[in-house]
Copies of this chain bind each other. A is one copy, B any other.
Amino acid sequence: MTENEIAKIREKIFQSKKILITTHINPDGDGIGSGLALVNKLIKLKKKVSFINRDPLPKIYKFLPGSKRVKNLSKINENFDLAIILECPEIERTGNIIDFKKQVKYSINIDHHIGNMMYADLNVIDSKAAAVGIQIYKMMKGFNWYIDKDIATCIYTSIIIDTGSFRYSNTTPEVHLITAELIKAGANPEFIASEVYATTKNSTELFRRMLSELKIIKNIGWSFITKDMLKKTRADESDTDNFINSIRSIKEVDIAVLFKEYGKNITKASFRSKNGFDVNVIAKKFGGGGHKHAAGCVISQPLKKAEKSVISEIFQYYKDKIK
């Protein structure tokens, strides 16, 4: 983040009274953590701040300070002086909850995706940042803002989500240096991990059933969660958030997919990959998106049909490359 960018964001924040913060559809820990870090500070600056996303806050992030302020709406009928858009490579990833041109005076796009579409008045893109939370941390340091325990907790969460708890290749020395500062500021690693990676008796039983349905063909591993499985195990849909990573970490698997039955004709597919395989291109073919190694989409087909469509698409796309 350049000094100019920091100065410009500061100017806009101080000029604005009503501020909207938003992140992408199906929000994750980076978008939520970064957004709440900002919310916690902006409230103290007496700003009228709204953190509104199209989709609900995943249950595992309810422990985050300020989480009660996160709302979800499909359409916002208010106007804002400033909108800060987090982790959205395209404006459409916000879920079009607002007309940014008509309802917002000034927009700032903070993101770490390569190929961000630079759709805002100010675009602050750092594709080397492991998480948008890292960008927010640097911005706050640039503002000379004091990072308290609440803010540190939010940014710490954004970092562990986007680095897979310091395991992904984006985990640079800088990530650890910033994390050291966040722990000094009060972030509690054990507590945060116990919340974010919490399993329960019921979610463990759901996980076991998911493993019973696991298929591995070539280097593609996939499974599914039906509504019936959720009901029988009394587990919560949000309990399944980390399941996909367990499929990804299997040595024989380069491309992992988890299908979730949302309705009779609505199936959500989550993708993870490693060893250079790109799942963003697959998710995009079904109207979704994300990163090269983590993406998702929603398909208007029943579970079994969606499974067939997606898996054959993967085989088709990678027909020369698949082992």
Contacts and interface: CB of A to CB of B under 8 A. Distances in A.
A169 B189 CA distance: 7
Given A176-B176, A201-B216, A167 B183 contact: no
A211 interface: yes
Interface string A216-236: 100000000000000000000
A174 B177 CA distance: 9
Given A204-B211, A208-B208, A199 B169 contact: no
Interface stretch (A44-52, A247-255, A305-313): A247-255
| A contact residues, range | 35 or more
Contacts of A315: none
A193 interface: yes
A208 B193 CA distance: 23
Contacts of A166: 165-166, 179, 189
Interface in A161-203: 164-169, 171-174, 176-177, 179-181, 183-184, 189-190, 193-194, 197-201
A265 interface: no
Contacts of A183: 171-173, 176
Which of A166, A197, A252 has most B Cβ within 10 Å? A166
Nearest to A247: B204
Contact of A204 (B168, B180, B200, B214): B214
A184 B173 contact: yes
Contact of A197 (B168, B173, B208, B249): B249
A316 interface: no
A4 interface: no
Interface of A: 164-169, 171-174, 176-177, 179-181, 183-184, 189-190, 193-194, 197-201, 204-205, 207-208, 211-212, 214, 216, 246, 249-252
Given A164-B193, A171-B189, A176-B183, 9 more contacts: A166-B179, A167-B190, A169-B190, A171-B183, A176-B180, A177-B180, A197-B249, A198-B249, A198-B251
